[in-house]
């Protein structure tokens, strides 16, 4: 059964791919067998992250246009906030990208965070590996841009693009510790706004101490995504970054991060929070967290 599904995915059947993503999302019986049959793939994953309102979706839409114009096939996974009622993606319609839904070279799928604290879909590793089996030239993952998703995307993507806007001066200061380390490219979107050039200059000054940790300076690209301005330069910077063998340098670490996360989740699968709560209540006033953990494990 799964071999037929996998063959169809490799051949570019988007309906089969969409159906199999749903099976993985919902942990349908035997889905792990499908994942175990996935062939190796070198398709690069581009992570797009940054604070809400930075224009990530508009930028992704413009990137799709550039890639399609170059006869490339692209898959986009959009990780959106969950509805509190049905855990579905709140922004699942993806109006900004609607023109691509019937394009045979573009595959778009919205995924809900489903309450994941980090802001990424709990099955994002498996789903991205499934999509890598299909015949795409690039895979773009756009995160919801809250919590730890900016950091988590670095453990998933081959290249991480962080999108900010000129008004984000204070915001950049607060996120400096994490984002400055994981960003491969910074995009200052909505760069037609006042003080954009000053912001770019200050951002480059903030990035300067980090140069020693990179084989090349972190590029800062100005864009006006709504007008498709600067997007060609961004794609050029992405391709140059990929060509700089950074994927090879990070490849083993990326796989180790993914393996650690999946093993951790598998070993924790039989632990139920409601069961923990019940046992804690039964312990009463004599409860000691650390004895409890030792006895439980």
pLDDT tens-digit series, residues 184-219: 899 999 999 888 998 888 888 877 765 555 556 789
* 129/198 Cα distance (integer angstroms): 40
Q: What is the rounded CA–CA span in Å between residue 41 and residue 35?
A: 13
Residue 177 pLDDT class (50, 70, 90 cuts): low
Residue 95 has pLDDT above 70, yes or no: no
| Contacts with 141 (C-beta within 8 Å, 6 or more apart), sequence order | 45, 46, 47, 48, 76, 77, 79, 124, 128, 153, 156, 157
What is the SS3 assignment for 208?
A: helix
- Is the model's pLDDT at 251 over the cut of 60? yes
Nearest to 223 by CA among 4, 88, 48, 74: 48
Burial class (CB in 10 A: 0-12, 13-18, 19+), 129: middle
H/E stretch holding 61:
helix 56-69
pLDDT tens digit string along 123-140?
A: 888 999 999 999 899 999
Average pLDDT, the chain: 81
- CB neighbours of 65 closer than 8 A, spacing ≥ 6? 228, 231
Are 139 and 163 a contacting pair, CB within 8 Å? no
pLDDT at 283: 86
For residue 8, give the 3-state DSSP assignment.
helix
Judged against a pLDDT cut of 60, whether residue 159 lies above it is answered with: yes
Q: What is the pLDDT of residue 149?
A: 47
All domains of the chain in start order, with CATH:
39-244 (3.40.50.300)
For residue 117, name the pLDDT band (cuts at 50, 70, 90): very low
Flag whether pLDDT at 180 surpasses 90: no
**Strands 138-142, 45-49: pairing kind:** parallel
Residue 188 CB coordination number (10 Å): 24
What band does 121 get if pLDDT is binned at 50, 70 and 90? low
Q: Residue 221 — very low, low, confident or very high, per pLDDT cuts 50/70/90? A: very high
For residue 2, count CB atoms less than 10 angstroms from its CB and return exposed for 0-12, middle for 13-18, buried for 19 or more.
middle
Query: In the prediction, which pLDDT does 90 show?
Result: 44
User: Is the Cβ–Cβ distance between 2 and 30 less than 8 Å?
Assistant: yes
Contact 162, 50 (CB under 8 A): yes
Provide the whole-model pTM. Answer: 0.82
Percent pLDDT > 70 in the chain is: 76
What is the tens place of the pLDDT at every residue in 269-280? 888 888 898 988
pLDDT at 60 over 90: yes
**pLDDT tens-digit map of 12-47:** 999 999 999 999 988 899 899 999 999 988 899 999
Number of Cβ within a 10 Å radius of residue 227: 12
Sign of the dihedral defined by the CA atoms of residues 10, 12, 14, 15, in that order: negative
Higher local confidence (pLDDT), 205 or 115: 205
Angstrom distance (rounded) from CA 34 to CA 123: 14
Contact 191, 222 (CB under 8 A): yes
Query: Distance of alpha carbon 294 from its chain centroid, rounded?
Result: 35
Residue 273 confidence (pLDDT): 85
d(C-alpha 129, C-alpha 31), whole Å:
13
Per-residue pLDDT tens over the stretch 83-94: 433 444 444 435
């Amino acid at each position: 059964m799964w071999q037929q599904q996998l063959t169809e995915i490799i051949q570019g059947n988007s309906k089969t791919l969409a159906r199999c993503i749903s099976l993985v999302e919902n942990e349908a019986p035997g889905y792990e067998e499908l994942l175990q049959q996935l062939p190796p793939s070198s398709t690069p994953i581009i992570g797009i992250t940054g604070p809400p309102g930075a224009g990530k979706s508009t930028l992704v839409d413009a990137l799709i246009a550039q890639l399609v114009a170059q006869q490339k096939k692209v898959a986009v996974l959009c990780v959106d906030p969950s509805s509190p009622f049905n855990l579905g993606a709140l922004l699942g319609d993806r109006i900004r990208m609607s023109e691509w839904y019937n394009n045979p070279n573009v595959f778009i799928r919205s995924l809900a965070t489903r309450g994941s604290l980090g802001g990424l879909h709990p099955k994002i590793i498996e789903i991205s590996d499934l999509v890598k089996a299909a015949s795409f030239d690039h895979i773009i993952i756009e995160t919801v841009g809250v919590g730890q998703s900016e950091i988590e995307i670095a453990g998933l993507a081959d290249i991480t693009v962080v999108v900010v806007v000129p008004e984000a001066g204070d915001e950049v200061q607060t996120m400096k510790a994490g984002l400055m380390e994981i960003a491969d490219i910074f995009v200052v979107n909505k760069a037609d706004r006042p003080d954009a050039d000053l912001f770019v200059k200050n951002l480059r000054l903030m990035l300067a101490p980090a140069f020693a940790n990179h084989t090349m300076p972190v590029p800062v690209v100005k864009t006006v995504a709504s007008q498709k301005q600067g997007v060609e330069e961004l794609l050029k910077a992405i391709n140059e970054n990929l060509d700089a063998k950074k994927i090879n340098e990070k490849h083993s670490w990326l796989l180790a991060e993914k393996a650690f996360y999946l093993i951790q989740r598998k070993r924790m699968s039989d632990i139920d929070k409601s069961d923990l709560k019940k046992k804690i209540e039964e312990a009463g006033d004599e409860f000691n967290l650390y004895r409890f953990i030792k006895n439980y494990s």
